[in-house]
């Protein structure tokens, strides 16, 4: 079964390509984007000797091109020890927000040997849905585990939130919100504390809870930051004690 790689037609009109690339650069870039070793994550293992065989250049020329693309163009990085190539803008044209690519994409990221490359891919993965909440990963642990743990953590938080929320509707939208935003432990704790107060509020308790918003609405509008209309406490007993003490 043939595997195809998409090359956008505006490659030839891109200002960087037009202004900065030599004919040799263009040929080498097209090879990097379409060779047999490319994959979904944009980081793959390939030796300089194999690149030389495929392109017809000698190894010295390939090493010169790799250095040029890393230091001048800054769009490709190559690790000699692991023989891995990272195409830095690959994710822009080959990753989507579809849930269908999650498992194969994570699987490929987990295989990456070069720590710096894997860290880069983890960051881009966590920014795939939103650029406002990047995930901070510890460099002294397995980055692959961090990616998996991030997804698992978001799912656990979704389940805890949805189980506590008194109105059980739009479940898929709620799960999608948690998967997209990946709230930190601190933010999630604040959200859950606020939810408990809303559950006890006068507005949510009256008329059979008909004024409780959909959980997806509560999340999307950041309602945990709202002022809570707390029910008035019955202080008749305290007033009676105070009057009789006097």
- Confirm whether pTM is higher than 0.95: no
Q: What is the mean pLDDT of the chain?
A: 82
Predicted pLDDT at 139: 40
> If you average pLDDT over residues 183-200, what whole number do you get?
90
Give the span between the Cα atoms of 15 and 112, in whole angstroms: 31
DSSP 76: E
What confidence category does residue 4 fall into, taking pLDDT thresholds of 50, 70 and 90? low
Give the span between the Cα atoms of 56 and 5, in whole angstroms: 21
Res 231 pLDDT > 80: no
Kind and range of the H or E run holding 68: helix 59-71
Least confident span in 113-127, 136-150, 187-201 = 136-150
What confidence category does residue 31 fall into, taking pLDDT thresholds of 50, 70 and 90? very high
Please report, rounded to a whole number, the percentage of residues in the chain having pLDDT higher than 90: 50
Q: Mind listing the domains of the chain with CATH numbers?
A: 9-94 (1.10.10.10), 129-225 (no CATH)
Q: Residues 153, 164: contact at Cβ < 8 Å?
A: no
pLDDT in tens, 147-183: 545 556 788 899 999 999 999 998 999 999 998 888 8
Q: Which residue has the tokens 């510890």?
A: 138
Give the span between the Cα atoms of 49 and 55, in whole angstroms: 10
pLDDT in tens, 42-65: 999 999 999 999 999 999 999 999
């Amino acid at each position: 079964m043939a595997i195809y790689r998409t090359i956008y037609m505006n490659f030839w009109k891109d200002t960087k390509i037009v202004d900065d690339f030599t004919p040799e650069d263009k040929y080498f870039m097209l090879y990097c984007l379409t060779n047999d070793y490319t994959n979904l994550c944009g980081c793959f293992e390939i030796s300089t000797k194999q690149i030389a065989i495929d392109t017809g250049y000698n190894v010295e020329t390939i090493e010169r091109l790799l250095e040029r693309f890393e230091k001048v163009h800054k769009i490709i990085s190559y690790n000699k020890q692991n023989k891995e190539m990272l195409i830095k803008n690959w994710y822009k044209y080959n990753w989507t927000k579809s849930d269908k690519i999650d498992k194969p994409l994570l699987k490929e990221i987990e295989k990456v040997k070069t720590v710096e490359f894997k860290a880069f891919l983890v960051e881009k993965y966590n920014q795939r849905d939103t650029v406002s909440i990047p995930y901070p990963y510890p460099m002294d642990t397995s980055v692959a585990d961090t990616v998996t743990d991030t997804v698992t953590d978001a799912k656990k938080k979704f389940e805890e939130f949805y189980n506590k929320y008194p109105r059980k509707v739009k479940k898929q939208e709620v799960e999608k919100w948690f998967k997209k935003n990946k709230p930190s432990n601190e933010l999630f704790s604040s959200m859950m504390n606020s939810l408990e107060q809303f559950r006890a509020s006068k507005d949510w308790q009256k008329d059979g809870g008909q004024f409780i918003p959909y959980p997806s609405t509560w999340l999307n509008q950041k309602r945990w930051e709202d002022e809570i209309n707390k029910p008035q406490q019955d202080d008749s007993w305290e007033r009676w004690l105070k009057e009789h003490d006097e």
